[in-house]
Amino acid sequence: MMTLRPPLPRARTATVLAVIVVVAAGWMALVDLHDPGGPYGESAAAWAQAIMSVGAILAAVVIDHGASRRDRQDRLEAAAAARASRIQVLQLCAFVLDNAAEAARKRPLKRGQRFEGLAMEAIHSARQTVRHFADRGSDSDPALVWVLNRAVTEVDAAAEVLDGHRLATSADLTDLERAARGRAQALREIVDEYHAGFYEV
């Protein structure tokens, strides 16, 4: 994963401020040479006041620009972290569906048995989590919002099939596994397509 770095290091702000001071000092030395009163002459005093005013403005601009860069960098890092957490939720949903299919496969088939228990509870939890992130949206990444809504559709469809599904015959088991693993694969494909930039606008 690419690490976001500030476009300009903090040390550069201090360097720019130092340059302002050096230039101002050099200009004052030049004025002193041409002012009959030397460093205490009227001309030198006027130039000193002007240079200090301009220097203060430049320093404020440099400092404000540095703060803006840091704010921008913070926003970029926060957005990247939010995207990563949402992608992890989609991957977790796929894992939960695969786990449900595996859990059902290991249960002995018998009349009256239905798919329920911890595996189904995990699906309900994953369903609520992905819905939560989809509802919150993301102004900085509309493609991810679309992906999350696609994921909600896939998890909802899986939950409707799996919840209370009969496990009495091999055909019941085949239907359950097909539904769980098929939706899990669909989620993985959505994530891969998102990373590949298929949903960019």
Tell me: the pLDDT tens digits for 39-88? 444 555 555 555 566 556 666 666 666 666 677 777 777 777 878 888 88
Q: Which residue has the higher pLDDT, 3 or 137?
A: 137
State the pLDDT at residue 59.
61
State the pLDDT at residue 22.
57
Give the mean pLDDT of the chain: 75
Residue ranges per structural domain of the chain: 11-73, 75-195
Give yes or no for residue 7 having a pLDDT over 60. Answer: no
- Please say whether the structural domain 75-195 has been given the CATH code 1.20.120: yes
Q: Angle of helix 42-106 relative to helix 118-136, nearest 10 degrees?
A: 150
63 token code pair? 């400092």
How far is CA 27 from each of CA 18, 42, 160, rounded to the nearest angstrom?
14, 15, 78
84 token code pair? 């990563």
State the pLDDT at residue 142.
84
Dihedral, 181, 167, 170, 119 alpha carbons, nearest 10: 30
Q: How confident is the model at residue 182 (pLDDT cuts 50, 70, 90)?
A: very high
